[in-house]
Amino acid sequence: MKQLIMKKILFVLLISIMGFSTQAQEKKDKNAKREIAVKGNCEMCKKRIEKAAYSVKGVKSAVWTPESQELVVLLNEQKSTTEAIEKAVVKAGHDTKHETASNVDYEKLHECCKYDRK
């Protein structure tokens, strides 16, 4: 009788642990690392681009590198999209692969930040 009760308790514990580990994995899956091509030149650009990315709800990390011209973001895909991030960066005056900043926003950039717009 005691063995049957112990087996039931162990079975319930095992099922509970499996349920908790599945929930933890689901929470991790909603975060995604994405790379977005963004035009810029310098450290002032870096600050502006990263600030624009962080202004989007769901962005957990944003790092832009002048050498690679890439913005690497970690975002919660349940709260935001790469398109929303691109729109914020474009509004700050920087072109992306899929979006182009308006001439008005581009002209607001400091002289050293004005990249070639081809």
Q: Provide the CA 97 distance to its chain's centre, in angstroms.
A: 16
Structurally, how many domains does the chain consist of? 1
In a domain, 60, yes or no: yes
Domain around 97:
31-113
In a domain, 118, yes or no: no
In a domain, 59, yes or no: yes
In a domain, 13, yes or no: no
The domain spanning residue 102 has which CATH number? 3.30.70.100
In a domain, 88, yes or no: yes
In a domain, 52, yes or no: yes
Q: For residue range 16-36, list pLDDT tens digits in order.
A: 777 765 555 555 558 899 999
Burial 2-27 (b: 16+ CB within 10 A, else e): eeeeeeeeeeeeeeeeeeeeeeeeee
**Token representation of residue 15:** 């099922």
Contact (CB, 8 A) for 59 and 74: yes
C-alpha Rg value of the chain to the nearest Å:
23
Contact (CB, 8 A) for 98 and 81: no
In a domain, 9, yes or no: no
Cα 109 to Cα 45, 56, 73, 86, 93, distances in angstroms = 9, 20, 23, 17, 7
pTM score above 0.85: no
Q: For residue range 56-99, list pLDDT tens digits in order.
A: 999 999 999 999 999 999 999 999 999 999 999 999 999 999 99
In a domain, 8, yes or no: no
Residues facing residue 31 across a β-bridge = 76
